[in-house]
């Protein structure tokens, strides 16, 4: 909101106005847990609208099947079916006074509803749905939230990847080579996630080919072999090749890069 108002007003004026509104309790600063719930509810609302644009009746039926299986009052109470269309209620009054644990459980429930809704859509429309949702998330979600608010959203994009692949067999061993899940290097952590989760979703053979093309070794190499510019260049190529797997993979890259503070290669455009 600040960024949008900043196009017409001085940012300092906007911030002073927001401070004044918060002091007078006109607006409320959301806690991190509530921001994450807001994010996933917005993701569901966007997904509903995209699905309706593709096939309104199918979207309504898919959402009905999800609601019929849900038993959580805080989520059921914020899903409305009006004029043959489902909508999400963004009022936070239902969340007042809830503990951190309960809020995080509700975040999980909203994520489950989102995942079940997408899974209930007809597979023949899934490719178009994912393509449009990826662009919508780029424009309306990923760049409007802080990196920490996006934690967990990658599970949705990985789920979309799973739904859009035909790989059924699971690898017995996940190969990582010299890649490590390190918090000190966002790019390497991103590469580690792509390689490990990718082997489960897309199959070990396909990910191995991508790693070979990118120059990312899936066998142990000496510590001084894969360093400096060579590692950075290889990870960039890995992201480029991974993006070619489909729109869901591009969404995964978009979310993870924002979370981890990693710049995407220029040839991955949105």
Domain boundary assignment for the chain: 24-121, 147-270
Q: Each residue of 215-234: pLDDT tens digit?
A: 888 766 555 565 555 888 99
Q: Each residue of 21-73: pLDDT tens digit?
A: 545 554 456 788 999 999 999 999 999 999 999 999 999 999 999 999 998 98
10, pLDDT greater than 80: no
Q: What is the largest CA-CA distance in the chain?
A: 64
What pLDDT is stored for residue 6 in this prediction?
46
C-alpha angle 112-117-120 in degrees, rounded to nearest 5: 125
93, pLDDT greater than 50: yes
5-14, 26-35, 185-194, 202-211 — which is least confidently predicted?
5-14
Q: Which of 160, 165, 126 is nearest to 254 (CA)?
A: 160
Dist. CA 205–CA 218, nearest whole Å: 12
In the 8-state DSSP scheme, what is residue 7? Answer: T
Yes or no: say if 128 and 223 are a contact pair by the CB < 8 Å rule.
Answer: no
What is each CA distance from 4 to 14, 30, 102, 135, in whole angstroms?
10, 19, 33, 19
What pLDDT is stored for residue 185 in this prediction?
86
pTM of model > 0.75: yes
């Amino acid at each position: 909101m600040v960024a949008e108002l900043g196009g017409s007003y001085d940012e300092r004026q906007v911030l002073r106005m927001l401070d004044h509104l918060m002091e007078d309790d006109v607006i409320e600063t959301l806690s991190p847990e509530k921001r994450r719930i807001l994010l996933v509810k917005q993701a569901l609302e966007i997904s509903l609208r995209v699905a309706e644009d593709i096939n309104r009746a199918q979207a309504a039926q898919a959402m009905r099947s999800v609601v019929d299986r849900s038993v959580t009052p805080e989520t059921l109470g914020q899903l409305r079916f009006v004029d043959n269309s489902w909508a999400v209620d963004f009022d936070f009054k239902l969340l007042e006074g809830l503990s951190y644990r309960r809020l995080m459980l509700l975040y999980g429930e909203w994520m489950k509803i989102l995942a079940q809704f997408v899974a209930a859509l007809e597979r023949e429309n899934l490719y178009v749905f994912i393509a449009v949702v990826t662009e919508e998330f780029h424009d309306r979600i990923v760049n409007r939230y802080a990196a920490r608010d996006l934690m967990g959203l990658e599970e949705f994009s990985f789920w979309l990847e799973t739904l859009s692949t035909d790989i059924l067999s699971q690898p017995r061993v996940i190969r990582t080579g010299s890649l490590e899940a390190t918090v000190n290097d966002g790019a390497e952590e991103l590469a580690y996630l792509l390689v490990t989760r990718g082997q489960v979703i897309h199959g070990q053979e396909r990910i191995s080919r991508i790693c070979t093309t990118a120059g990312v070794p899936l066998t142990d190499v000496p510590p001084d072999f894969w360093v400096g510019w060579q590692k950075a260049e290889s990870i960039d190529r890995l992201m480029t090749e991974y993006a070619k797997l489909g729109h869901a993979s591009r969404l995964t890259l978009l979310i993870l890069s924002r979370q981890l503070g990693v710049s995407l290669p220029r040839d991955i455009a949105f």
